[in-house]
Amino acid sequence: MPTSFDVSVVIPTYNRADLLPQTLASIVEQSVPPAEIIVVDDGSTDGTEALARRFRPPIRYTRIENSGVCRARNVGASLATAPWIAYCDSDDLWHPDKLESQVRLLRAVPGLEYAFTNFRVVTDGWSSTTKFDEVPAGYWDLPRRPVRSDAFVVDAPLFERVLTYNPIFPSTVILSQHFFHRVGRWVEALGRTLAEDLEFTLRCVTQPPIGVVSAPLVGIRKHPGGFSADHLRTIKGEIEILRYVVQQPYARLHQAAVLDGIAKLNIAGADVCFHSGDLAGVREFLNAVPREHRSWSLRAKSLVAGLPARVAEPLREASLAVAARFRRQR
């Protein structure tokens, strides 16, 4: 276990010269400043290098060949000199007391090596709701210890809960070097897949205790250049990630839940395609859904998607109108 609470902040970046300065400022201005800030430039072509090199210590800059965000995070971790690592994506923002809040939690709970905070989405401003506001009923009903009014420790794995709803984002996480080496590096082969962080998160939450700060101390910026802007691509990315996860030893006890998650993502993808009129996409997603997961509405969508376009399109529009009318009447 590390005895010091010095923190190395790792920032992977690619072509974010317009957003990186605000991110850096939010980290430099922490009430408990980090020991160092490591910017790993994943081969940017937009002037990021010139921008980052203007900053002085504790900001360190290193450039790598474009390889994907997972390798950039691994390189940053390998360069970190502090006993703790905190990640922040180069378009996100930290509340001034983000690190202080997490360090106080870690100091209060000996043996705690992994923790995350709540967050808000940032577009024109910080959203009024938080990620934790949307967790399903009963999500936190599991063994846990209150530490203070805005923080607690979970003493059970969160693997299957994260499969159903993931409240964890890389920019909210702090972990010890010891914990990082125990759970293993980010999988670099997944670095160009949307939702690549899900695999690393699932590995981490198999190993309690897990520290949780319920205060929303991070702002996750959503903008046209953000990878998560394309909902359908995100679903496909999550499916690819879970197909990788289901083959891993750490998921052995959770295979049924992972397969169920894959089926639900395919159903969600089919629904998105049906609403947009992409009937080929509907067929592609539903072909991967086991028969036992197919409700009558899915079977109807599959039937419509298999018809000639001139017949299918009026039926699709009519079914959407009926569904909308039903929702209004509920």
> For residues 255 and 145, what is the distance between their CA atoms, to the nearest angstrom?
28
> For residues 146 and 150, what is the distance between their CA atoms, to the nearest angstrom?
9
> Does pLDDT of 15 surpass 80?
yes
pLDDT tens-digit profile of 266-323? 999 999 999 999 999 999 999 999 988 889 889 999 999 999 999 999 999 998 998 8
- Give the domain ranges of the chain: 7-229, 231-329
List of residues 6+ apart from 230 with CB closer than 8 A = 194
> Within a 10 A sphere around the Cβ of 183, how many other Cβ atoms?
17
Taking residues 241-258, report their average pLDDT.
97
| Structure token pair of residue 68 | 């994907």
Write the single-letter amino acid at 48: T
Does pTM surpass 0.85? yes
> For residues 152 and 211, what is the distance between their CA atoms, to the nearest angstrom?
6
The pLDDT, as a whole number, for residue 226 is 53
> For residues 105 and 112, what is the distance between their CA atoms, to the nearest angstrom?
9
The larger pLDDT score, comparing residue 224 to residue 257, is at: 257
> Does pLDDT of 228 surpass 50?
no
> Does pLDDT of 329 surpass 70?
yes
What are the backbone angles phi and psi of residue 242, rounded to the nearest 5°? -70, -30
Taking residues 39-51, report their average pLDDT.
94
Percent of the chain with pLDDT over 70: 96
The pLDDT, as a whole number, for residue 271 is 94
- Mean pLDDT rounded to a whole number for the chain: 94
**Is the domain covering 7-229 a CATH 3.40.50.300 domain?**
no
The pLDDT, as a whole number, for residue 52 is 83
